[in-house]
Structure 1
Amino acid sequence: MHKLVLNCLRKAAISIAIILAFGLAPLPAVAENKSIVISSGGPTGVYYPVSVAICRLYNVKYSFLGHGCTVELSGGSIDNLMQLRADKVDFAIVQSDWQAHAKNGTDTFADVGAHVELRSVFALYTESFTVVARANSGINNFQDLLGKRVNIGNAGSGQRATMEVLMDQHGWNRFDFASTREFASDLQAQALCDNEVDAIVFMAGHPSGTIKTATGTCDTKLVSITGPEIDKLLETSDHYRASIIPAGTYFGQTEDISTFGVSATMVTTSDQQDESVLRLVEVVFEKFDRLKRLHTALTNLDAVEMQKDIMPASLHDAASSFYSTGVN
């Protein structure tokens, strides 16, 4: 036993001598595990599967280095921005209009003030304001919602906040409807098909799983969102732009639907580590073609537009540096 210990000590001494003699450094320590969390949306919306697609690419490239990516469900854009402000998540997907309000401390964010640390990372796709109505409801345009049973969206969601903007634009309040409901995105289609409401409103990249469910399960139709109030909204706001939901996007949709939309954007804060932001933008643009195949809402992504589309908050320094190298 004594000889065995001496032999082990002798071998250890020889190993140390070799390292010192040849200047060999010891093996580096394993990198600190730094996983990122993306706050997304409801399970049947578009934010969630898009976040999952991004995390999937991120984990393939970085998980073996101890850098993982996970997705959290949430109530939507406003909930995400509040979570980000509270430092409970690292990144979030949000509507560009509510990104602007959070940055400036306006509208819903007036009480909490401007989020000066809010930073953009990249834009994604256009989200169109969408109304789906029961076919026999008599709803053929936005104005026809008056006196009807309408799901206006859950508190904390971008669709709810945008619906309230439209109501203000038209001079309406909740009492102008027969009733209002606040179903979350994953419950809207069922409520519509169960005849609990006459119409649902949705802010989504298309095609949307919720709207596919509604149009494929019961007799429904998409409604165009047009008129002088919408024209004025587009003229007076930098956040919105006209958009089209092409014919054939959903079952039974035989014509284009005119509406308006915003950009879905990935955001973080100035406190987020440069390395985390750089890893995220690198994997998105290095695996760009693969990303576009992971969800139908990403099919028409444009790498150049993603760097400069409607993003009210300044770019995070790491993202800005990456884009300055000429990503296309």
Structure 2
Amino acid sequence: MKKNSMLLTIISALLLILTACGSDKDGGKESTGTNGGEKPSFDVDFLSILTGGTQGTYYPLGGTFADLITTETGVKTTAEVSQASAANMTALQKGEGEIAFVQTDIAYYATEGTLMFEGQKIDSVSALGALYPETVQLVTLANSGIKSYEDLIGKKVSVGAPGSGTYANAEQLLEIHGLTMSDIRPQNLDFGESTDGIQSGQIDAAFITAGYPTGAVESLNATNGVYIIPVEADKAEALIAKYPYYAKDAIPAGTYGLTEEVPAVSVGAMLAVKKDLPEDLVYAMAKAIYDNTDKISHAKGAFIKAESGLDGIGIEVHPGAQKYFDEVNN
């Protein structure tokens, strides 16, 4: 009897150990995030955030978002340099990334298959959330003599890559001022190349669509005083009437050393994701970003809020993100 009792005791102990090990392995829980609580496991090992050039706003914010997602979900996430909005939508469609920064207008064109996406409709991408206004900044030097859109005629002007968000913005703003690409000498440069070109005298002005303060423009202003060409109220209103995804904006005095506020227009910046990402993962990603906006050091972090996370989005919202915003805004 004693031997049987001892054997039963040993077997029971072994079963308890095996049960505990199985629970640790399959319970789906890992270490806690900074918000407290346990992080669920996901069937995704790695995420890539497609941003833009290193001197824009997307790239530094992308690095912060990657850190937040990694910390809060346990899924290793990195920010990648890219050609920004239009290229990012195409890259998501091709499976070259899982998350991407994109302008709200470009996301709409892509999912509708219009303008630069004519015949190339993007159908595998949905929205994670809105971020902040992206101001269309027409930059030149303070001593260039260029003070208005009309002064651009015959000048070398960077308009971004063909098919890019910046290119579309440049084309539409020129149009509303009675100009076309034929009236200027368009140059297809990224933000860093644009400001380098202005500094060296190779070009006269550049369209830069990004959240201010934009790194490339700050760098230019550090060596040469910059001037931002204004969009007057009547032109802004005409632009918005034709292209309603624009909004009136203003670059505050003090930005880039400006002595007074400059009227401008903006579109929205947003995050897009692959539709096939798991709902629980996208929910966790949205929560990681919008619950931790106090950890965003960039000036645009002040605009990123859960309560405005669906503002200006004209494409389908991922169910995981929709679940998050429904919870926090209801």
Q: Same fold (TM over 0.5)?
A: yes
Aligned to 2:85: 77
Secondary structure of the corresponding residue to residue 119 of structure 2:
coil
**Amino acid in structure 2 at the alignment position of 1:309:** D
- CA RMSD after TM alignment: 2.3
Secondary structure of the corresponding residue to residue 325 of structure 1:
helix
Aligned to 1:28: 25
Q: Distance in 2 between matches of 1:82 and 1:120?
A: 14
Residue in structure 1 matching 2:161, options 139, 148, 154:
154
**Amino acid in structure 1 at the alignment position of 2:293:** F
Query: Mapping of 1:1-328 within 5 angstroms?
Result: 18-20=13-15, 24-25=19-20, 26=22, 27-28=24-25, 32-63=43-74, 67-113=75-121, 115-177=122-184, 179-226=185-232, 228-251=234-257, 253-291=258-296, 294-306=297-309, 308-327=310-329
Q: 1:174 to 1:286 in 2, by over 3 A?
A: closer
Q: Does structure 2 retain, via aligned residues, the 8 Å contact 1:53–1:295?
A: no
Q: Does structure 1 retain, via aligned residues, the 8 Å contact 2:104–2:245?
A: yes
Cα offset for 1:233? 1.5
Cα offset for 1:322? 1.4
Q: 1:275 to 1:80 in 2, by over 3 A?
A: same
Q: Does structure 2 retain, via aligned residues, the 8 Å contact 1:117–1:270?
A: yes
Describe the superposition over 1:294-317 as per-residue Cα deviations: whole angstroms up to 9, x where unpaired: 2112123333112x3100012111
Aligned to 1:10: none
Cα offset for 1:100? 1.0
Q: Distance in 2 between matches of 1:93 and 1:278?
A: 17
Q: 1:17 to 1:146 in 2, by over 3 A?
A: same
Q: Does structure 2 retain, via aligned residues, the 8 Å contact 1:206–1:245?
A: yes
Structure 2 unaligned regions, length at least 5: 1-8, 29-40
TM-score normalised according to structure 1 size: 0.86
Cα offset for 1:28? 1.1
Q: Does structure 2 retain, via aligned residues, the 8 Å contact 1:75–1:156?
A: no
Q: 1:281 to 1:57 in 2, by over 3 A?
A: same
Q: Distance in 2 between matches of 1:140 and 1:102?
A: 34
Structure 1 unaligned regions, length at least 5: 1-13
